[in-house]
């Protein structure tokens, strides 16, 4: 009977640890899905796990599927990196990390025929003392290769905003110039009117207006 509570306790701990590692496992892919012919395209595939926790064994596969075709293996890792013979032979570059949390690759000099669906499959086996849970995840990247780069919508908006700002600053500068010109003109008119009024005063009044000097 004493063994039963221990078994329940061990099962609970294992369940908590399992849930914790499920939370920290993930696969991320980029939002970019368009490449320009002749350039390099970086495929992100990152598996996340707390680095300070238990170790894990990792292996993964990259697949390519042409439009209307089937998945073709193009790259894998099982203790060592391996590139399958395919249309990408000599054009695949490993960009992952040593701990295999990052299993990203790059396709060099993409062509129009490289359009299709790329799949990243990751399998990780965590090494617990009680058991060795196995986690698997997969992500798809739909890639379209174009001949020339299209103008980015964000850059178009930025250019429009820049022109609007330039127009606004130009108008504001013109308004400030007109305001300053009118202000200077009024000051000159006021000074001229004061001078005219002073000249119009009779000479005797000017002498009376003189400030007396006290000795």
CA distance 181 to 3: 96
Residue 18 has pLDDT above 70, yes or no: no
Q: pLDDT digits over 77-107, tens only?
A: 988 889 999 999 999 999 888 878 888 999 9
Burial of 71 (0-12, 13-18, 19+ CB in 10 A): middle
Residue 115 has pLDDT above 70, yes or no: yes
Question: Do residues 116 and 66 touch, judged by C-beta distance below 8 A?
Answer: yes
Residues with Cβ < 8 Å from 113, sequence gap 6 or more? 66, 87, 145
What are the residue boundaries of the structural domains of the chain, listed by start?
28-150, 152-185
Residues with Cβ < 8 Å from 114, sequence gap 6 or more? 35, 41, 87, 88, 107, 143, 145
Q: What are phi and psi of 125, to 5 degrees?
A: -115, 115
pTM of model > 0.85: no
Residue 10 has pLDDT above 50, yes or no: no
The CATH H-level superfamily of 28-150 is Immunoglobulins (2.60.40.10)
């Amino acid at each position: 009977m004493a063994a039963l509570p221990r078994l329940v306790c061990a099962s609970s701990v294992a369940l908590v640890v399992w849930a914790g590692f499920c939370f920290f496992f993930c696969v991320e892919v980029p939002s970019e899905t368009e490449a320009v012919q002749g350039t390099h395209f970086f495929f992100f595939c990152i598996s996340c796990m707390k680095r300070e926790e238990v170790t894990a064994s990792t292996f993964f596969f990259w697949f390519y599927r042409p439009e209307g075709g089937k998945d073709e293996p193009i790259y894998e890792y099982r203790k060592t990196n391996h590139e399958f013979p395919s249309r990408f032979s000599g054009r695949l570059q490993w960009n992952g990390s040593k701990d295999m949390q990052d299993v990203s690759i790059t396709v060099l000099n993409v062509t129009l025929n490289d359009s299709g669906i790329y799949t990243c499959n990751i399998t990780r086996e965590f090494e617990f003392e009680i058991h060795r849970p196995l986690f698997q995840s997969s992500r798809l990247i739909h890639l379209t290769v174009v001949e020339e780069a299209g103008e980015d919508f964000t850059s178009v908006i930025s250019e429009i905003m820049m022109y609007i700002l330039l127009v606004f600053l130009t108008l504001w500068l013109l308004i400030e110039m007109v305001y300053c010109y009118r202000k200077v003109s009024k000051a000159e008119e006021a000074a001229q009117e004061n001078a005219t009024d002073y000249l119009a005063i009779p000479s005797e009044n000017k002498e009376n207006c003189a400030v007396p000097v006290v000795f």
